[in-house]
Amino acid sequence: MAAGTVAAWSAYWRSGALHSLDTSGQVGELAMLADWIGWLDALPDGARVADLACGNGLLARLALGLEGACHDPGRRVHAVDIAELAPRWVHDLDAARREQLRWHERTPIEDLPAVEGGFDAFCSQFGFEYAEPTAAVAALSRGAAADARLGFIVHHADSIFVRQGAGERAALHWLLEPAGLFDTAARVAENLVARFRGAALGAAAERVRREYNRLQQDLDRYGSEHPERQPVLGEAREAVHAALVHAAQTGDAQWLSRQREAFDFALLRLENLIRVARTEQQIAGLQAELAASGWGMMPPGLVHQPGTGTLLGWRMQGRFRPPSRSTTPTG
């Protein structure tokens, strides 16, 4: 994964968010928790569990018996992610659970660390599909104990996240394009900084200011044509406005650059999400790769939002049952 994308995820997790789902739309925050609790509660006692591409550890938390899941004091939970993480909830863990949990930040699934005896369970929510599939499948099969379980929820190419994401991606492209809102705001900020330092502003600065005002009107029009993109457009408007006020009052234009970086990162994450989401044919390919590596896979299922039926993703489940490796004749 490109360094920029790792930075984009690290920045996201630094905010302290517990999961990555945009729940501003039609998805309840806890939509999938009940399923996960059932899956985790059915693991054997003392299981060594890996939460793959864990983010700030939504599943790791459940695996430790929080949020209504059963607590197995013998379980060991390994939370693995390529990004830097900032899970705030660990500060409230009791000493026993803290001992049960191990973080592996900046660790790609493809380089999954080995644990003694192998992993008994791999879970992943919207994570495994981000890894390079062949290397990630090989890492799992290397690291699995006999009869290990696999439970993944994977992005679906037609899910609500991909459909909402495509609209948001278009809005971000619009905001971030050359001579777009962020670019023009940066030129306004330069002028405001110059004025803060005592320079007189001329006709060129006035043209930039008018251009910025015109873009604000375009923003209004764009938002009314695409009401579902209003949240990201509104956030951008507020961020740019606050950064320009800050530049005018302090002579510091850096804040605007940092705001822009947050939107650049959001675009990168969305582009990734849309790229890794799997069609039916692609999920069949991933299943086949796992099967060829020793995983007995159940047919993939669909995950829907209870109540509304909104499509959330693919469900993959399997058990590690490689053919016996022993070829030594006996007797």
Ligand X SMILES: C[S@@+](CC[C@H](N)C(=O)[O-])C[C@H]1O[C@@H](n2cnc3c(N)ncnc32)[C@H](O)[C@@H]1O
Q: Using CB atoms, what's the residue nearest to ligand X?
A: 55
Pair of tokens at residue 251: 């002579």
Buried b / exposed e over 266-288, threshold 16 CB at 10 Å, is bbbbbbbbbebbbeeebbeebbe
Residue at 59: amino acid letter: L
CB 13 within 8 A of CB 86: yes
- Asked whether the beta carbons of 32 and 303 are under 8 A apart, the reply is yes
- We find the least distance from the C-beta atom of residue 96 to ligand X, in angstroms, to be 24
Question: What φ, ψ does residue 275 adopt, rounded to 5°?
Answer: -70, -40
Residue span binding ligand X (CB under 6 A) among the ranges 103-111, 169-177, 280-288, 295-303: 103-111
The binder of ligand X chosen from 27, 43, 54, 256 (CB under 6 A)? 54
Q: Residue 146 corresponds to which tokens in the numbers above? A: 């006999």
Task: Please report how close the Cβ of residue 99 comes to ligand X at its closest, in angstroms.
Answer: 23
Among positions 122-181, residues that touch ligand X (CB under 6 A) are: 125-127, 130-131
The correct pick among 40, 47, 53, 270 for binding ligand X (CB under 6 A) is: 53
The answer to whether residue 81 forms part of the interface with ligand X (CB under 6 A) is: yes
Supply the DSSP symbol for 251: S
63 within 8 A of 34, measured Cβ to Cβ: no
For ligand X, the binding residue among 82, 140, 219, 253 (CB under 6 A) is 82
33 binds ligand X (CB under 6 A): no
What is the distance between the alpha carbons of residues 112 and 139, in angstroms, rounded to a whole number?
6
Rule CB under 6 A: say whether 36 interacts with ligand X. no
Q: Does 55 bind ligand X (CB under 6 A)?
A: yes
> Which of 150, 120, 155, 154 lies closest to 137 in space, CA to CA?
150
CB of 40 to ligand X, least distance (A): 14
Smallest gap, in angstroms, from Cβ of residue 166 to ligand X?
16
Judged by beta carbon, residue 19 or residue 319, the one nearer ligand X is 19
Q: Which of 58, 137, 172, 175 binds ligand X (CB under 6 A)?
A: 58
State which of residues 65, 108, 223, 300 lies at the interface with ligand X (CB under 6 A). 108
Number of residues that bind ligand X (CB under 6 A): 20
Q: What are phi and psi of 66, to 5 degrees?
A: -100, 175
Taking the complex as a whole, the smallest distance from the CB of residue 133 to ligand X amounts, in Å, to 10
In the bound complex, what is the minimum distance in angstroms from residue 189's beta carbon to ligand X? 31
Q: Which is nearer to ligand X, 83 or 140 (CB)?
A: 83
We find the least distance from the C-beta atom of residue 103 to ligand X, in angstroms, to be: 12
- Could you give the CA distance from residue 240 to residue 257 in angstroms, rounded to a whole number? 10
Q: Judge whether 148 and 295 are in contact, CB under 8 Å.
A: no
Check residue 119 for interaction with ligand X (CB under 6 A): no
Give me the least distance between CB of 107 and ligand X, in Å please.
7
In Å, what is the CA distance from 303 to each residue of 35, 127, 177, 260?
10, 15, 35, 34
Q: How many CB atoms lie within 10 A of CB 91?
A: 7
Residues that bind ligand X (CB under 6 A): 1, 9, 19-20, 53-55, 58, 80-83, 108-110, 125-127, 130-131
